[in-house]
Amino acid sequence: MTDKKNCKEEKENIKTKKKNEIQNTINCPELGKCCEIGPLTPTQRRQEAFDIRKNAAQFQRDLPLPGHPCNGDEDRFQNKIGSFSKTLPHNNLGEVCLDAYNTYIKALTTGNPEIFELIPLGGVVKLANPQASYAYDLYGPDSHHLTMAVAPTFSSAWRASEMAEDYWSALTRDVAFTNYNTNSLTIAAAADLSKFSDFRGPKQDGMVTTETLFRGNLPGDLVGPYVSQLFYKPIPFGNRTIAQRYNSPIAGDDFMVTYEEWLNIQNGGLPNESITFDPPARFIRNGRDLGQWVHVDFTYQGVLSACLILLGFGPDAIDPNNPYLDSKTQNGFITFGSAQFLDFVAKAARVALEAAWFQKFLVHRVLRPEAFGGCVQNNLTGATEYPINPELFNSQSLCKVFNKYGTYLLPMAYPEGSPTHPAYPAGHATVAGAGVTMLKAFFNEKFIIPDPVVASADGLSLMPFKGESLTLGGELNKMASNISIGRDLAGVHWRSDSSEGLTLGETVAIQILQDYKNTYNEDFEGFTLTKFDGTTIII
């Protein structure tokens, strides 16, 4: 009996010893007891990882809380004509049903998922993800901790100029960018926009010209062809290369120009028409092509493609501060190499959209240009007397639109019109601003783009561009403007949505880079980049 007892105790002691040995191996308190090597013990590494995350969170927490001012239109107009209400039920004037709008506001105010399910809809189309306005993230800035400039008011001269620009964009969609200097419509558009007292697009000697028409205000936007080289260069994609030829809608393929269809779309009805394409695939050569590109692209497609193109340019296109450029024994990959570059343009996209959605739904709720077009139509037919700035009614664009379509509605490039989320800021612009800022941090902005090209007027070929050298930084900025203003050319956004969205996205990317600056082992002096306002910063 005693022998059995001793045997049992011995077995138990052996089990306990093995258990302790396994635990000691897991804990690895001494370097010699496990395979791991490195400057820190596991315990030290765990604490260091915690401190890095904690310090990044504290940095974000300690930034000053910004204000979130809006333009006041929601309170100014009892009938909510200055506010986004697409998909909700509307009367025959396109004015939203106030009971439905109040439920929508209650849902946004409370954040209660159950109330969102009670929002009355006017048709079958749904609101686009308003609850993303409340999402948190684990890197970069919190969406509610960012601010924006106040959007133009419904009755301002600023808004009138932006609406005129959208009308002219619709009228000139089929004009090749290479023909802007000679086409009568683009010449008229430049002259007309020059007359507005508060037009904020780029100018030359105080005037809008065919060289500045529908372009952005960023460094590089006015240099060279309208379209960025990053929309023309072939895209290296694994074991193949993708030529940037895209499906092009036929000329004159415009939508929502009848009042019945316009009202149907405002109420969340399905469109009665679809886009007709004009084969073969073409290089982007006019506003309709660019508008279609930003119609069906996925969130960060543009900056992803740009990253792949820039990687194909070789080491001269890499940022000079990259710690591996001068290394004799190592290359960058997971850090300071392609894996990180590609990852960060994707990382920035979602955080940028969270920032945009907060502003869209919880701060501004700005109406889309198509809704404003309905207000113009009702004013000019005598049905309403909305306080639209009179500068708009002096624009030649209105009579040209009416003569072509028989209404004053804004001709849209998409059958469904705008997406079902508010206008300000543009999601495309915010993602583009964030992605381009990431690329400027990783690549050499002074690198000269080799063999620049421009699309032929029919979009079937690329021709050599002979002119001023095009820098990588300038063409990144131009691509960001192309993506954001491409949505304006389609009729779904205002210029201010685009310009302010780019700035918001830039801020998101900079703060993500700040969060990651202490995560690297390499000797690294920091990210250097040129902001959209032309200033240079080091992160």
Q: How confident is the model over 29-60, as pLDDT tens digits? A: 544 467 989 999 999 999 999 999 999 999 99
Mean pLDDT on 108-128:
98
Q: 13: which residues sit within 8 A by CB, 6+ positions away? A: none
d(CA 172, CA 519): 49
Q: H-helix or E-strand containing 475?
A: helix 472-489
Task: Say if residue 200's pLDDT is above 70.
Answer: yes
Percent of the chain with pLDDT over 70: 94
Among the listed residues 90, 144, 364, 428, the single catalytic one is 428
Q: How far is CA 498 from CA 217, 425, 433, 504, in A?
A: 11, 7, 10, 10
Annotated catalytic, 421?
yes
- Bridge pairing between strands 240-242 and 462-464: unpaired
How far is Cα 371 from Cα 224, in angstroms, rounded to an integer? Answer: 35
So where are the chain's domains? 138-538
Q: What is the mean pLDDT of residues 196-216?
A: 98
Helix (H) or strand (E) run with residue 455 in it: strand 453-455
pLDDT at 21: 47
Contact 249, 288 (CB under 8 A): yes
Please give the share of the chain, as a percent, with pLDDT higher than 90: 93
The reported pLDDT for the residue numbered 473 is 98
CB 532 within 8 A of CB 506: yes
Angle at CA of residue 350, ends 470 and 201, nearest 5°: 45
Backbone phi and psi for residue 249, each to the nearest 5 degrees, phi listed first? -65, 155
Query: Is 295 designated active site?
Result: no
- The whole-number pLDDT of residue 216 equals 98
Q: Is the model's pTM score more than 0.85?
A: yes
List, as one string, the DSSP characters of 20-80: HHHHHHHH--SGGGSS--SSS-HHHHHHHHHHHHHHHHHHHHHSPPPP----SHHHH-TT-
So what's the pLDDT on residue 34?
Answer: 76
Q: Rounded mean pLDDT of the chain? A: 95
Residues 443 and 434: their CA atoms lie apart, in Å, by 14
Classify 380 as helix, strand or coil.
helix
**Residue 19 pLDDT:** 54
What is the mean pLDDT of the segment spanning 399-423? 98
Residue 1 above 50 pLDDT?
A: no
Mean local confidence (pLDDT), 134-149? 97
- The band of 11, judged by pLDDT with boundaries at 50, 70 and 90, is very low
424-456 residue pLDDT tens: 999 999 999 999 999 999 999 999 999 999 999
3-state secondary structure of 385: coil
**Three-class SS of residue 145?**
helix
pLDDT tens digits for range 70-101: 999 999 999 999 999 999 999 999 999 999 99
Secondary element (H or E) of residue 236? strand 235-237
Q: Tell me the mean pLDDT in the region 210-227.
A: 98
Mean pLDDT within 456-477: 98
Average pLDDT over residues 342-365: 98
Closest CA to 159 of 389, 326, 442: 389
Distances (CA, A) of 485 to 289, 386, 453, 532: 12, 27, 21, 15
* Cα–Cα distance, 488 to 496 (Å, whole number): 10
User: What does each C-alpha distance from 200 to 152, 418, 499 come to in angstroms?
Assistant: 11, 23, 10
Q: Taking the CA of residue 526 as centre, how many other CA atoms within 13 Å lie in the half-sphere pointing to its CB?
A: 9
- When pLDDT is averaged across residues 327-346 and rounded to a whole number, the result is 98
Mean pLDDT of 186-203: 98
| Residues 535, 531: Cα–Cα separation, whole Å | 5
Provide the terminal-to-terminal Cα distance of the chain, rounded to the nearest Å.
Answer: 75
The four Cα atoms 205, 206, 212, 218 give a dihedral, to 10 degrees, of 100
- Rounded to an integer, the average pLDDT of 471-478 is 98
* Catalytically annotated residue among 90, 144, 364, 421: 421
Decide if 80 contacts 365 (C-beta within 8 A): no
Inter-CA distances, 415 with 102, 270, 293, 384, 486, Å: 28, 9, 15, 26, 16
Nearest to 172 by CA among 400, 437, 456, 324: 400
Helices (H), 139-206: 157-171, 184-193
Asked if 386 and 375 count as a contact pair (C-beta separation under 8 A), the reply is: yes
Q: Which fold has domain 138-538?
A: Vanadium-containing Chloroperoxidase; domain 2 (1.10.606)
pLDDT at 380 over 60: yes
Q: Which 8-state DSSP code applies to residue 412?
A: B
pLDDT level of residue 466 (50, 70, 90 thresholds): very high
Flag whether pLDDT at 220 surpasses 90.
Answer: yes
pLDDT band per the 50, 70, 90 thresholds, residue 25 = very low
> What digits encode the pLDDT tens for the residues 131-141?
999 999 999 99
**Range 260-286 average pLDDT:** 98
